[in-house]
Every structure is written in C-alpha cells, then in structure tokens.
Structure 1
Amino acid sequence: MPRMTSDLDTYRAAWLLVRQHGDEAGLVAAQRADTLLAVGDLGGCRIWKRILAAVVELGRQEPGNGDRLQ
C-alpha cells in the first residue's frame, strides 16, 4: 500500500531539515532519497524527493512581514 504524505507534512519536514542542517538540507534530503532507493524503498524515496523539492522551494522564498512557518 503506498504511503500518503500531505503537503503540510512535507513542508514541515522540509522546514525542520532546513532548521537542523541549514544550507546542507537539500543534500541531506537527496542522500536520504538515494539511500531509500538503494534498498528498494520506492515509496520512501518518493517522499524524500518531495521533501527535497520543498526544501528548494523554501530556499526561493523570502519571508515578508509577519510570514513564518510554524
């Protein structure tokens, strides 16, 4: 059965990854996706690729007045 992860959960995970790893967050997400692919966990790999995309998207956005993730 495929795992379903909401967009909100994906962005929360991405935000936490950025908070923990800073500029290395994208690399960490990519490495986790590669590791899961190597062991045949395609669902987990897809989730980490979504998190990677969210990390990239968060890096493109500059917070405005009052904007922040919680």
Structure 2
Amino acid sequence: MAVDKPDCAPTHILTDWELWACAQEMVRQHGFDAPIIAAMRADELMKKVDLDGAANWRLIVQRINQLIPPGEASKH
C-alpha cells in the first residue's frame, strides 16, 4: 500500500543533469510557454511549503530561459 507524501515533506535538490533534463522536457512539451508553466509550478510548491521542490522548479526556470533565447518567446 502506497503512502502519500505530505505536502510539507522534504524533498531534495536535483542534480544539474536532472535539472537540465527537466528543462529540456518542459521546452519539448510546452515550447515558449515552458518558463511560465514551470514558474507557476514553483509558486504552487511554495504555497505548499515544499521549499526544495520550489527551489528545483526555480532552477529549472533558469535553465529553460537559457534554452529559449531572449526575445524568441515574444516572436511566437
């Protein structure tokens, strides 16, 4: 029987490789909306007091922004 993890349970910070993999997958799935969607996820986790999870998503947003050149998103 699986036990649900409480919202405030500590997670861990992902490795750099994992963060880049997540960023690339977000761009693949969501295109130019990826940074917005990832930032919304970070906000959701912060509201649930999942500080590590929110930190992971903020780091993913940083990497997404490196994958999508500045100004490219506004063209689409």
* TM-score between the two structures when normalised by the length of structure 2: 0.74
The answer to whether the aligner puts 1:59 opposite 2:68 as a matched pair is yes
- Correspondence for 2:52 among 43, 47, 51: 43
Deviation at 1:4, TM superposition (A): 2.9
The answer to whether the aligner puts 1:21 opposite 2:48 as a matched pair is no
**Structure 1 stretches of 5 or more lacking a match?**
61-70
Q: Deviations over 1:10-31 (max 9, x none)?
A: 0000000000000000001000
The percent identity for this pair of structures is 33
**Structure 2 stretches of 5 or more lacking a match?**
1-9, 70-76
* TM-score between the two structures when normalised by the length of structure 1: 0.80
* Residues 44 and 27 (structure 1), Cα distance of their counterparts in 2 relative to 1, 3 Å cut: same
Structure with the higher fraction of residues in helix conformation? 1
**What is the number of equivalent residue pairs in this alignment?**
60
4+ residue runs over 3 A deviation: none
